[in-house]
Amino acid sequence: MFNWIVFRIFEYFSKKDDSIAISNTINFMVLLQASMLVPLFLILNLFVKIDAKVFGDNDNAKYLIGVPLAIVLLVVNSFFYKKKLQGDYLKKLEVLFYKEKYKISVWIIFLAPVFFAFVCPIIYGILNGTLSFPFLER
């Protein structure tokens, strides 16, 4: 699935500017994969309650996990996808995934990180009861 997404995003960026298409694709994949971890952590938190104090006494310490995670994802994605977006492997991806008309538009792929990072926590808060709407209460 990630190969298809990588090819679609690369195809979009290569139409805009071929010189930076690979780096833009890798950066988007880091953003997408990091945002996909949000619903994963929310589902995990449904079963195993994680206390924020595990990350230290500093309230902002839980947010600092994102910096090393982003660096790791950037290195791993650069290692795997940089080779796939060049030469013969790119031609194989074109044969596998290129279609004149796709069922899923590229803008839906671009909106996926927004959904994972912002909409999923709101849905989780509503279902978990930690998010309330005072203007709806009477």
Q: Which residue has the tokens 């997408």?
A: 32
Q: Which two structure tokens, joined as six digits, stand for 57?
A: 């006494």
- The CA angle 131-136-138, to the nearest 5 degrees, is 120
What is the tens place of the pLDDT at every residue in 30-75?
999 989 888 888 888 778 876 656 666 666 666 677 788 888 989 9
Helices marked H in the chain: 2-16, 21-47, 66-84, 87-97, 106-114, 120-128
The pTM of this model reads 0.78
Task: Please state the rounded mean pLDDT for residues 86-103.
Answer: 78
- Looking at the chain, the whole-number percentage of residues with pLDDT higher than 70 is 84
Angle 2-16/66-84 helices, nearest 10 degrees? Answer: 80
Query: What per-residue confidence (pLDDT) applies to 16?
Result: 87
- Give the domain extent around 93: 2-136
Cα dist from 16 to 9, 13, 40, 69, 84, whole Å: 11, 5, 33, 29, 19
Number of domains the chain is built from? 1
Whether 14 and 38 have beta carbons less than 8 Å apart is answered as no
